[in-house]
């Protein structure tokens, strides 16, 4: 059960997210992806919950909530599409 959390504050840390989501159940994994080039946080995270019920409750309660000064987006993570994102042209 993986949840996508978007529009995060760049000050958010993994422990902050775990603390927020543990109110809804057991957090088995939490990750804050970093930009490959800069090493900076990208403003979103993935949180794995132990059950579908916990996941649904967290999504329902946290969607659009202001957290750390930002209105966060919380929804079920979707598998990545095949295209890879980007025009495929030359990088300048």
- The 10s digit of each residue's pLDDT in 24-39 is 999 999 999 999 999 9
CA distances to 6, 8, 11, 28, 87 from 68, in Å: 12, 8, 8, 22, 34
Please tell me the predicted confidence (pLDDT) of residue 80: 76
Please tell me the predicted confidence (pLDDT) of residue 86: 52
Domain that holds residue 65: 2-69
What is the tally of structural domains in the chain? 1
Structure tokens given for 1: 């059960």
In-domain check, residue 82: no
What does the longest C-alpha to C-alpha distance in the chain come to?
A: 46
> Higher model confidence: residue 91 or residue 26?
26
- Which CATH number do you get for residue 60? 3.30.70.330
In-domain check, residue 31: yes
Q: pTM surpassing 0.75?
A: yes
Instruction: Judge contact between 3 and 49, C-beta under 8 A.
Output: yes
């Amino acid at each position: 059960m993986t949840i996508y959390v978007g529009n995060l504050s760049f000050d958010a840390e993994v422990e902050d997210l775990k603390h927020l989501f543990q109110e809804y159940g057991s957090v088995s994994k939490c990750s804050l992806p970093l930009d490959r080039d800069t090493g900076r946080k990208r403003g979103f995270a993935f949180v794995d919950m132990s059950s579908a019920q916990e996941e649904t409750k967290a999504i329902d309660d946290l969607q659009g909530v202001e957290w750390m000064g930002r209105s966060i987006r919380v929804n079920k993570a979707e598998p990545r599409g095949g295209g890879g994102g980007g025009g495929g042209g030359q990088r300048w």
